[in-house]
Structure 1
Amino acid sequence: MTVGKSGSVPSPPTDRVVSIIGLLAARNTPATSADLADALDLSRSTTGSILATLEQRGWVLRLPDLRYQLGPALATIAARAREALSLPDNAMGHLEALASRVRCGAALGLIDGTEMVFVAMTDRLGHIPRGIEVGVRLPLEAPGGISVVASSGRAVQQRWLDTAPPDRRDQLAHLLTQTASTGVTVWGADAADIDRIDVLAQVVTHLSSNAASQRLRDQVRALIDDTSGYPYTVEALESELPLPISYMTAAVFDAGGTPRWELQIGPLRSAVSPDERRTYIEELTATARAMSQA
C-alpha cells in the first residue's frame, strides 16, 4: 500500500482491491471471503463485492468450498510483468539454486532510477534483511545499493554519495572502489543485532497480511535499517576470527554490461568463519556472473 505524507491512501477503493490480491498471494492456502475481510479489517459486504468482480475478470477463482485463490488471468499479467522487468533468464532458478547452496534466503532487486524494487526472491530458506517481499521499493541511498552503484558511472556514484552524511562520504567512496574491485559487499552488524534483525524481518512479513499495518511495517523496516550494520572492509574480512554477517550483495549486469540488478543473500548469522565467508562470497559472485551471462 502506498501512502501519502500524511499517512492517507490516495485511492482507498483501489487499495482494498490490491490488498485482497496481495493477501491471497501471500497465503499458502485459499481463503474465504470472511477470512479476507477480517484480516484486512474490511466489511464483509465490501469484500464480497470486490471478490465477485475479481472472479468475473478471472483474477480470483472461487473453489467449490467457497474459498478463493488467485485466478488464471493473473498468470498472463505476471508473465507480462516479468517481460517488462527484463529479468535475467531463469532468474528464479538461479535464486533457488543459490539459496539451496548457501542455506539462506536470496533476492534480486532492480535498480530503477533513484529506487530499488525487489522483483524476485526465495521464501523457504530464511529471511532477507529488511523483511522485504516482491514489489517493495526502497530509496537508492547510501550505503544501500552499493554493489550496483560501484559499477555505475561517476555521476550516479556522486548522487549516491551525496545522500550520505558528510562525515561518511570518504569512507563510502573507498568502499565503492573496494566493491568495484571485489565484486561483492559483505554487511556486518553487532552480534546482538543479528537476532533482532531476523525477528523484525519476521514481524514485517507477518504484518504484510494486514493492509492497515502499513505504517507499523514502515516503522519496523526503519528499525531494521538502523541495526543492519555497515559494509566490511577487505581488511576486516581477512580476519581469522568469526564475524557477524547480516547480508551480502553483488551486481548483476544486463547484456550491454550495465549494472541493473542487485543480488542478495541473507545469512543473518552472528558468527561466520573465514572459510564460510569465502564460500558465501564464491557462491554469490558465481551466481551473479551466471545471471549476467544469461
Structure 2
Amino acid sequence: MRGAPSGPTGRALDVMELLGREPTARLRYVDIVQALGLNQGTAHSILKTLSDRGWVARDPVDKTFALGPALAALAKKADKARPLVSAARLVARDLAEELGFATSVIELVGNELLVLDFYRTEKSVPAPPPGLKVPYAPPYGTAFAAVATAEERKAWLARRATPSKAVGKALERALELSRERGYDVDWTTPAVAQLTTLVGSMDELHPTLLAAMDQILLEYTAPSFEESGANRPVTSITAPVLGIGGHARLGIAIHPISRIPARRIQACGRRLAEVTGKIGTPAASG
C-alpha cells in the first residue's frame, strides 16, 4: 500500500505485538518502556487508550499488562472473516498428529513471513513460535515465491544476500522444483539461517566471507533427495495454500528439524501438498 506509515499507530501495534510474543508473560509498565524504547508519556498514553478499549488488560494487584478481552473477541470474528486461515489451522493440527512432526501456519505479510500458529507433538523439537517474523527473501519463502507472479518472483530473487549469478540460478531451479512438486524442502540449519540474516543486513562484506556465503547457499538451496536410502537434515517442508488467482499468502509447514530418510521427506511433502491442495484453489499459470 502506498503512502507513509503512521508513527503513532506503529507504536501502539508494537505494544500489542510485544504482549503477544509471550501470551502468558505479564509485563510491567517499565518493561514495555524499556523493550520498545518509548518515552514514559507516550507509553502511558498508548497503554491507557488500549486499556480503555479492552485491547490490553492491567492487573489491579501487580500492575502488569497482558492482552485484553477485546482482542479475543476480534480474533473469533477474524476466523469467520478468513475461512482459508481457519481451514489451514485445522489441517496443520491434524498433520501434526498424523505425521508426528510439529507443524505451523505461515502467512505472507508484505515482505515478511509471519508464523500464525504452531502445533507441537510429544516428540517434536522446538520450532518457530507464533508471532515470529522472518524476511521474505532467499532462502526463506521459496514455496510462496514458486507460485507468485513473474514480477514477484523477480523481486524475491533480488532480495537475496549475495549477488552471485550461480546462487541466482540455483534459487531459480529451487523455485521450479517447488512449483513442480507442490512443496519446498528447507535444509537450512539454524546457524546458516542466522548467518544469512546477518549477511543480508550488512552493506559491505569481505570477499572471502561473500564467497563462503555463496557456497553455503548453493549447498542448501536445492540438494537432490531423490537418492534412496540417504538420511537428510530437514528444517521444514512447506506447501502453499493457494488463494484467489492461484497465488499464495498462506502456507503450512512441517518441522522435522532432524535427519530423516529421503523417502520419508518425499512422503511428507506429497501428503502436505495433497491436503493443502484440497483447501486452496488451482494454481495460476505464469
TM-score after normalising by structure 1: 0.66
**Structure 1 unaligned regions, length at least 5:** 1-8, 202-217
Structure with bigger RCO (C-alpha 8 Å, 6+ apart): 1
2:243 is matched with 254
- Read off the aligned partner of 1:95 and give its amino acid letter: A
Partner Cα separation in structure 2 for residue 285 and residue 134 of structure 1: 24
Give yes or no for the alignment of 1:71 onto 2:73: no
2:176 is matched with 177
User: Match for 2:93 among 85, 92, 96?
Assistant: 96
Partner Cα separation in structure 2 for residue 230 and residue 159 of structure 1: 21
Q: In the TM superposition, what are the counterparts of 1:181-220 in structure 2 within 5 Å?
A: 181-189=180-188, 194=189, 196=191, 219=198
1:118 is matched with 114
Deviations 1:231-258 (Å, cap 9, x if unpaired)? 334x434342111112222221125533
Identity of aligned residues (%): 24
Partner Cα separation in structure 2 for residue 136 and residue 195 of structure 1: 15
Q: In the TM superposition, what are the counterparts of 1:98-177 in structure 2 within 5 Å?
A: 98-100=95-97, 101-110=99-108, 112=110, 115-118=111-114, 120-122=116-118, 124=120, 126-128=125-127, 133-134=130-131, 136=133, 138-139=135-136, 141-161=137-157, 165-177=164-176
The Cα shift of 1:291 comes to 3.1
Give yes or no for the alignment of 1:26 onto 2:21: yes
8 Å CA contact retained: 2:241, 2:279:
yes
The Cα shift of 1:185 comes to 1.6
8 Å CA contact retained: 1:108, 1:118:
yes
Q: In the TM superposition, what are the counterparts of 1:76-87 in structure 2 within 5 Å?
A: 76-78=73-75, 87=84
Change (3 A) 1:22 1:239: same
Partner Cα separation in structure 2 for residue 45 and residue 157 of structure 1: 44
8 Å CA contact retained: 1:185, 1:248:
yes
Partner Cα separation in structure 2 for residue 160 and residue 197 of structure 1: 19
The Cα shift of 1:195 comes to 5.8
The Cα shift of 1:160 comes to 4.3
Partner Cα separation in structure 1 for residue 25 and residue 184 of structure 2: 37
**SS of aligned partner of 1:30:** coil
Deviations 1:56-105 (Å, cap 9, x if unpaired)? 12111223423332122223544566677674443322223333434224
Give yes or no for the alignment of 1:273 onto 2:261: yes
**SS of aligned partner of 2:50:** helix
**Structure 2 unaligned regions, length at least 5:** 203-212, 282-286
8 Å CA contact retained: 1:111, 1:261:
no
Change (3 A) 1:132 1:157: same
Give yes or no for the alignment of 1:60 onto 2:56: yes
Partner Cα separation in structure 2 for residue 142 and residue 197 of structure 1: 12
- Read off the aligned partner of 1:273 and give its amino acid letter: P
8 Å CA contact retained: 2:79, 2:85:
no
Range moving further from structure 2, 174-183 or 14-23? 14-23
The Cα shift of 1:144 comes to 3.5
The Cα shift of 1:119 comes to 5.6
Partner Cα separation in structure 2 for residue 256 and residue 196 of structure 1: 36
8 Å CA contact retained: 2:185, 2:236:
yes
**SS of aligned partner of 2:280:** helix
